[in-house]
Structure formats: structure tokens, C-alpha cells
Amino acid sequence: MNKRLVEQLDTPFPIYGFQNIGSRRDRDLGNRRWEFLGLLQYLRHYKEIQIDRRGNAREAVVFEMQIHREPTSIFPEHDAKISAEVLRDFLRTHNEDNEERTIVDSSISLPQCFRQIGGVEAEQIRRVMLNLEPSKFEHLIKQVLEATGFERVTVTRYSQDGGVDVNAFAGPGFWPIRNVLVQVQAKRWLHTVGRREVAELRGSLRPFARGAIVTTSHYSKSAVVEAFELGKNPIVLVDGYEFANIVGNLKIPVG
């Protein structure tokens, strides 16, 4: 049935999203333990290695869906028409293309010299990072920057405005660029970071500062293209697999 989700790209059929808010053992709840989230829109899918409850590695297919919370209720006899309108309105304001639906998998593309630990250990570290509070993930990035030679590293006041989260200055070891300000955005995300987020960070940087995004997830191909587009301030992109390798190699405790 999962294969059919991709067909929504060609035929805008409705996909309902529900969330379990109660135990199935609670007989008083019955069907009320399911809360309607909204209509779902297929965005992309990809394979990744995940760790199961027994600590074993397995290959999983991950589907990313956009949740449309409006309208809050839908009559089945009108769901096809409503779904088509919702998807059309989204595509009108979001320039989704094949490059935005494709992720760049650093577990394959990352050079061997950056693969300091095994793939299973890296995924274990990434899963722990996913469970951190956003502010703790920002402080983890601060620790990593300090451990790799950056100075005057500070975490900005926590907010959800999509701006800069960590400021750091290149230390003497980075002699050609020493004292250059690097501004980092932390994204403790499950879903893919796209082109829009890269462009928004670039617009938030101080004059002459360099920018970077560190995420626990992945980047779309269009995000990578945007990050290194000619004539624009380049943005360094570090995904969850690469960052887990850095953390693991430095033996920095997570959690």
C-alpha cells in the first residue's frame, strides 16, 4: 500500500492522517483514541539505515508527508475535490520539483576520510540526537565547534524564528580565515531540509559572515544546489550522518 502514496503526484487522491492519542486497552476511548491530523501530501521518500529495538540495523523506507490541518473536518463524499484544491494551492505557493523531492545521502557520498565510525554507530548517535531538546542540540553543536578549534562560541537566545543559533569565530588553527565569524543554524529535524531554509539562513547572516546548517536529517538536492550557487555566499551543509560521525570521532557524550 505504501507504493501507492507516490501516485498522488499524478492523481491528487486524498490521504488521511490520524494520530493515536490513547491506549487501545482503554475501552472507554474506543475510536476516540484516534485524532484527525488533516489531509496528507506526499513529498518524497528514501531509504535509510535505522536501528530497531534490539539494536540491530535495518533498511527502512521513509515517507515524508506534508500535513494540511485545514479544513479541520472532511466529509468523505467531498474528499477528492477538497484534496485536489488543497494540493493545488500548496503547489502554487511552493515551487516543488524533482530536485526538491530527491535527497542527498551522505552515507553514500561522504568521503572515506570523514567516516570515522561505523554506519550503525553513526545511526545510533543520530537517533539519540533526534531525541534531544532543540536547545540541547544547539549546545552540542557549540561543544563540537569548541572541540574542533573555534573560539568565542556562543549559543544565541533560543527562539523558533529560523535564524542563527550558534555564533563562532575561526581560531588560529584556521589561519587563512582566523577570526572569521561563522553563524550556524541548528535543525533537529526528522524531515528533509530544503532550498527555502538554505536561502532564508543566507538572508539572516551578518555582513561578511559565513553560514552553515547542521541537521539531524537530510538535505534535498535543490538545497545543495542553492547552498553553492555561483554569485551567492556559500552555505556549508552538514547532515545527520556526517555530524554523527564528527561527534562519534570526538567522543563527545550525547544526551
Sequence-distant (6+) residues with CB within 8 A of 233 are: 202, 205, 210, 211
Asked if residue 102 belongs to a domain, the reply is no
Do the beta carbons of residue 72 and residue 39 sit within 8 Å? no
Residue 255 in domain: no
> Do 228 and 139 belong to one domain?
yes
| Residue 44 burial (CB count, 10 A) | 20
pLDDT above 60: residue 162: no
Q: What percent of the chain has pLDDT over 90?
A: 67
pLDDT at site 185: 97
Q: Is 55 helix (H, G, I), strand (E, B) or coil?
A: coil
**Per-residue pLDDT at 161:** 52
Give pLDDT, residue 50: 87
Q: What is the pLDDT of residue 157?
A: 82
Mean pLDDT of the chain: 90
100 within some domain: no
Q: How far is CA 31 from CA 14, 23, 35, 36, in A?
A: 21, 11, 9, 11
- 84 and 181 together in one domain: no
Whether residues 183 and 212 fall in one domain: yes
Q: Are residues 186 and 232 in the same domain?
A: yes
Residue 239 placed within a domain: yes
CA–CA distance, 255 with 252 (Å, rounded to integer): 10
Q: What is the pLDDT of residues 68-118, one digit of tens each?
A: 999 998 999 999 999 999 999 888 877 667 788 888 888 777 777 667 787
28 part of a folded domain:
yes
Return the pLDDT at 231.
92
Domain that holds residue 24: 2-94
Residues 79 and 185 reside in one and the same domain: no
Q: Are residues 8 and 121 in the same domain?
A: no
**233 with 135, same domain?**
yes
Query: What pLDDT does residue 144 have?
Result: 97
Q: How confident is the model at residue 25 (pLDDT cuts 50, 70, 90)?
A: confident
How far apart CA 218 and CA 109 sit, in angstroms, is 12
Same domain, 69 and 129: no
User: Same domain for 12 and 123?
Assistant: no
**With 60 as the cut, is the pLDDT of residue 227 above it?**
yes
Asked, for residue 85, whether it belongs to a domain, the answer is yes
Angle separating helix axes 119-130 and 240-250, nearest 10 degrees? 100
Query: According to the model, what pLDDT value does residue 119 have?
Result: 82
Residue 201 forms part of a structural domain: yes
For residues 218 and 126, membership in a common domain is answered with yes
Binning pLDDT at 50, 70 and 90, where does residue 159 land? low
Q: Given pLDDT bands bounded at 50, 70 and 90, which one contains residue 255?
A: confident
Residues 218 and 116 in one domain: yes
Name which of 188, 134, 129 is nearest 157 in CA terms. Answer: 134
User: Which CATH number fits the domain that encloses residue 176?
Assistant: 3.40.1350.10
Mean pLDDT of 166-193: 96
Q: How many folded domains does the chain comprise?
A: 2
Residues 80, 114 within the same domain: no
The stretch 197-203 carries a mean pLDDT of 95
CA–CA dist 101, 211 (Å, integer): 24
pLDDT tier for residue 31 given thresholds of 50, 70 and 90: confident
CB atoms closer than 10 angstroms to residue 191: 15
pLDDT category, 53, cuts 50, 70, 90?
Answer: confident
Tell me what pLDDT residue 3 has. 85
101-116 burial, b for 16+ CB within 10 Å, e for fewer?
A: bebbebbeeeeeeebe
Which of 27, 59, 94 marks a domain boundary? 94
99 belongs to a structural domain: no
The pLDDT value given to residue 198: 96
Residue 96 main-chain phi, psi, to 5 deg: -80, 135
- With bands split at pLDDT 50, 70 and 90, how would you rate the model's confidence at 246? very high
Domain stops at, among 61, 94, 127: 94
Instruction: Measure CA 214 to chain center.
Output: 9
pLDDT of 226 strictly over 70: yes
Q: Quick one: pLDDT at residue 15?
A: 95
Answer with the one of 65, 94, 123 that is the final residue of a domain.
Answer: 94
